[in-house]
Amino acid sequence: MKRFKIGFFVAGVLMISFLTGCTTRLPGQPTEAERWRAPTDVTDFSQLYAQNCAGCHGVGGRLGAALPLNDPLYLSFVTDEALRTAISKGRPGTNMPAFSQQVGGSLTDQQIELVITGMRRQWSRPDELKGVELPSYSVNGIATSNSPKSATVNDYSVNPSQTSDAQRGAVAYQTYCAGCHGVNGAGGTAGSIVDPYFLNLVSNQGLRTTVVVGRSDLGKPDWRSNVPGHPMSSQEIDDVVAWVAMHRQTAEATSVTATEGTRAVSLQAK
């Protein structure tokens, strides 16, 4: 009987404290953090990045199929305007899709700004690059005009500058790139960079960015470390991009591969 009384007492105290809400939060009570939010209401950078960017640019901005965004060098190299354009309108003809709601994407303008400021806040290290003279983001310092001409046609709007020269680029290539990409660019340990199929999927700006910033996450060199102690000059960067871009497939060649594709299909069907 005594045990019953104690039991009743404990139960009563628990009940009263529970009903008056003066105890600590019960584990089942939903928190604000668990509250469902519409995708357009998300304002947390980590969540925005994880949902929209991590697929291609890698978890935490590194080791993805596309270039790493968690790279202080890249973030110093690229302008806010270029980032904004690339995220909102995409890079037509490449695998970078448009994210702005105005062109059918999923992010609001405000969220795009949050992504840009978030990347800069978390991953920028301007101090590390003090005193380093970076090549300009686009050729001759001209900002990228990314007006999509057609979604299916590659965006080659960043044409090699008037002064760039593929012939000179071939020479620069032998100096800086041939060690990994092979003498003619078609192989070596790092794989072909003159494969027309590859070139059809990247813009000249993309080539330029890769030449300048490399891929630090994969241990690939930037413009300073291709030949240690001998950085590429702006002119050499322009020229190498012009030389690589020269190998891009022409329209005729594309139609040939289309036929090949069809042939493969018809063979398979048989």
Partner 1 sequence: MIERLTRIALWIDERVYISKLFAATAGHSVPRTSGSWFYVFGSGTLVCFMIQIVTGICLALVYVPSASEAYSSLEYLNYQQQLGWFLRAMHNWGSNFMVAIMLAHLIQVFLFGAFKYPREMTWISGVVLLLCTLGMAFTGQVLRFDQDAYWGLGIGAAMAGRVPLMGPAIVHMMLGGPIIAGETLSRFFTLHVFVIPGTIIAIVSLHLRLVLTKGINDYPVPGKLVNKETYIEEYEEELKKDGVPFFPKAISKDMIFSGLVLLGIVGCAAYFGPAGPRGVPDPSLINTAPKPDFFFLWLYGVLSLMPDYLETVLMLTAPFIVIGILFAVPFISNTGEKSPRRRPLAVLSVLFIFIVLGVFNYLGTFAPWSPHMEAWTSAATPVNYLEGRSPLERQGALVFHNKQCVNCHSLGGAGGLRGPTLDNVATRLTGDQLVRQVIQGSGNMPAYGKNLNPSEVTALVAFMRTLHSPTESPARDSTRSEQAAAEKTPAKALAQTGEMQE
Token digits for 241?
A: 């991009």
**Binding status of residue 190 toward partner 1 by CB under 8 A:** yes
State which of residues 182, 195, 225, 247 lies at the interface with partner 1 (CB under 8 A).
Answer: 195
Residues 6+ positions from 91 with CB-CB distance below 8 Å: 146, 155, 203, 205, 206
**Cα 201 from Cα 92, distance rounded (Å):** 10
State which of residues 36, 110, 130, 228 lies at the interface with partner 1 (CB under 8 A).
Answer: 36
**Binding status of residue 183 toward partner 1 by CB under 8 A:** no
**Cα 156 from Cα 167, distance rounded (Å):** 20
Give me the least distance between CB of 26 and partner 1, in Å please.
Answer: 5
State which of residues 1, 28, 33, 150 lies at the interface with partner 1 (CB under 8 A).
Answer: 28
Considering the complex, state which of residue 124 and residue 192 has its C-beta at the smaller distance from partner 1. Answer: 192
* Burial (0-12, 13-18, 19+ Cβ within 10 Å), 87: buried
Residues of span 207-246 touching partner 1 by CB under 8 A = 218
| Site of tokens 């059809």 | 200
Do 53 and 45 contact (CB within 8 A), yes or no? no
Residues of span 67-96 touching partner 1 by CB under 8 A = 95-96
Q: Which ranges of 34-108 would DSSP assign to H, the alpha helix?
A: 45-52, 54-57, 72-77, 80-89
State which of residues 6, 22, 38, 251 lies at the interface with partner 1 (CB under 8 A).
Answer: 38
Site residues (vs partner 1, CB under 8 A): 18-19, 21, 26-30, 32, 35-36, 38-39, 50-56, 58-59, 63-66, 95-97, 152, 190-193, 195-198, 200-202, 218, 249, 254, 257-258, 260-261, 264-265, 267-269
